[in-house]
Chains A and B, each alone.
Chain A
Amino acid sequence: MAFLEIDGVHKSYGHHEVLKGVTLNVERHEVVCLIGASGSGKSTLLRCVNALEDIQDGVIRIDGDTVTGAGVDLNALRRDVGIVFQSYNLFPHMSVLENIMLAPMRVGGVKKREALERAERLLESVGMEDKAKSYPDMLSGGQQQRVAIVRALAMQPRVMLLDEITAALDPELVGDVLEIVRELAHGGLTMLLATHEMGFAKEVASQVCFLDAGSILERGSAQDIFENPREERTQQFLSRVVKSGRL
């Protein structure tokens, strides 16, 4: 049984169906990349896994526990599932340290000293220890995104969802953020990420899924998808990506 099971998930906003029966398994220590055009449902799928959106049909299981439907302790689920957003979403009224320590202390019941130590250690590992006292608005996009990753990691999640985390960054800042993700992947963290960085997906993904109009059209190893895409839509998408100089 896979660690994260997404089984026949349907999601609609009103009459607009965004996910049309998505099925996807992520094994422990696996890194799965979702690629596809804007509006294909990548972000929505990630938000469903974290129960930020409710789903109309289907089931999502983490480590065998169903996390969708009524009667699920969402706060407990979210403790195990970290998510990093495209727009960082740091809390602007809190310093970097406060941003990171908030959830471990309030939700995880960690003592302040321990939370502080953990936060400082994590900041150091992403090269941000000198910004601990800064506020988010004083940081560059790349720095904010690194803090957002650390904030999610501080809860010691069992799976991380990354939602186009470099899409809003200036090109020269993308590298720093990807370097951290690379490290996490090598460290064996289970990850599900939506990305437009095809080169990066090629490098870290153990499985690549191409989403089109709310369903997974094609899946396979990075090599299969990027070198020999079988579906016509996948070929079109990839050729447009190549034309824009992103692959």
Chain B
Amino acid sequence: MSTSSLVNEELQPSPTPAPPRPVFAVAMVGLVFAVVVSLVMVKAVLMLRHFNHDGPVSTTVGVILVVLTLYAWYPAAKALGAGQQRASLLSQDQLVPSRRIAARGREDALIAMGYAAAGLIVALLLIIVLAKDGGVATTFFALHPIRLSFNQVIHAFWINIWVACVSEVLVLILGLVVAIVRMLPGRAGAPLRMIAMVYCDIFRAIPAIVVIMLIVFGLPLTGVRFFQTMPLTWLGIIALTLTYSAYVSEVYRAGLASIHPSQSAAARSLGLSYTQTLRTVLVPQAVRRVIPPLLNDFISLQKDTALLSVAAISEALLVAKLWEAQLFNLSPIALVAAFFIIITIPQARFVDYLIDRDAARRAGK
């Protein structure tokens, strides 16, 4: 026995083994839930077949969906079996094995519930889309209007992409400049810091749609020849750049502030000037850190190119709205939504890849 007063039996009594946790009830809930979900799915599939006039495709899809929901029955049944085994082991006083079986059984029951819940969500979505004799489907996903408008909408969408790309390059530059100006040191920098702060405050306060209207309609009215001859799209780019540089400068600023002061001290101690320290040590590290939030703002910017439709710039949404008015159907606008989804997802994955690569390189893998 230990003689130290820091360790003794009263303070640290040896534990008594816990009894196995119950399994049967939770397994039963899992099984009932799985069965109910399969029934709901059968109902959804019947609606799908009806909407599709009992076509072979809908029949095949329906059968696959129902079979998939049956998969949740399997872990539920396993959990029930585990419940029985637990009881028999416990009656033989085999505490540890029965505890192990019980843990596995509860895990299986949870798996059944998870799969069943996913199935339920799919079934309910299907039912919503097909309700009122396919009301949702014909409103948003009607094939005929999509086919008619597709060509024009996709051409107009190039304008969105072009505007987004040009604005993003400009925002990257202007945002960084504003961020650096806001962090200028000393009294000499004070007036400039003030101006940069006012700029950020103002352009983060005004809604993007208002900035677009003011700039695209307003600048040509000022009588300045440069703006009168400027294409509308470029005015739109100016508006988006002004709005988003204010946001992005904050992102950069957070990134710069997150670099530990010791990095700056190390650079300055080697004799590097403030500017050299910024350029070679702080900005490169800050930019790497802010790539994910930066991309977040860029995705937001890309979406806001649709706002240019209020300024009569013939981008995708404006063209889709013309088709919508002509066909009395929202599907062309849903098509625009689909385009935005398609360009956004690869970017998100690309950033994940960049982050992983940077981490791997620095860890030497």
Contacts and interface: CB of A to CB of B under 8 A. Distances in A.
A89 B266 contact: yes
A29 B288 CA distance: 43
Given A135-B364, A138-B363, A89 B262 contact: yes
Interface stretch (A75-83, A184-192, A204-212): A75-83
A108 B270 CA distance: 10
Interface residues of B, number: 21
A93 interface: yes
A89 B264 CA distance: 9
Contacts of B326: none
Contacts of B285: 91-93
B259 to A, nearest CB: 10
A75 B271 contact: yes
A107 B364 contact: no
Interface in B257-307: 262-263, 265-273, 276, 280-281, 284-285, 288
Interface in A88-102: 89-93, 102
B280 A106 contact: yes
Contacts of A107: 270-272, 276
A196 interface: no
A134 interface: yes
Contacts of A90: 266
Contact of A87 (B262, B361, B363): B262
A108 B363 CA distance: 31
B267 to A, nearest CB: 8
Interface residues of A, number: 30
A34 to B, nearest CB: 18
B238 to A, nearest CB: 33
Contact of A79 (B271, B284, B288, B364): B271
Interface SS, B side: helix
B270 A85 contact: no
B362 interface: yes
A81 B269 CA distance: 8
A52 B285 CA distance: 21
Interface string A9-27: 0000000000000000000
A107 B265 CA distance: 15
User: Which 9 A/B pairs are nearest by Cβ-Cβ distance?
Assistant: A138-B364, A89-B266, A103-B270, A107-B271, A79-B271, A78-B271, A137-B362, A83-B269, A89-B262
Given A102-B280, A135-B364, 20 more contacts: A50-B269, A75-B271, A75-B272, A81-B269, A82-B269, A89-B262, A89-B263, A89-B265, A89-B266, A90-B266, A91-B263, A91-B266, A91-B267, A103-B271, A107-B271, A135-B361, A137-B362, A137-B364, A151-B270, A152-B270
Interface of B: 262-263, 265-273, 276, 280-281, 284-285, 288, 361-364
